[in-house]
Amino acid sequence: MSSASLSVVIAARNCAERLEQTVLPWRPIAHEIIVADQMSTDATADVAQKLGCRLIRNDPPSGNFDLNRKLAMEQ
């Protein structure tokens, strides 16, 4: 029998105040949580790291938010 694992991807930009409440419900079931941060100017990256998330910071062309999500999903 194989063991499945769940990776959660969160695309984020300037959401430090909401990130913890987004991450915590996933913590009990997720193998990893990846936060794809679009160069936030608030504490989003710091919060993600304090919560134990894997952090990817990227500034996609033309501010295309979806490219960050796709980049994180490839990880």
pLDDT tens readout for residues 3-21: 679 999 999 999 999 999 9
Of 41, 42, 24, the closest CA to residue 33 belongs to 24
pLDDT tens readout for residues 58-72: 887 777 777 777 788
Question: How many other CB atoms are found less than 10 A from the CB of residue 7?
Answer: 14
Query: Which residue matches tokens 């994180």?
Result: 72
Q: Which pLDDT value is given to residue 20?
A: 98
pLDDT, the chain, mean = 90
* Residues 6+ away with beta carbon under 8 Å from 28: none
Q: What is the side-by-side strand order in the sheet with 7-12? A: 7-12, 32-37, 54-57
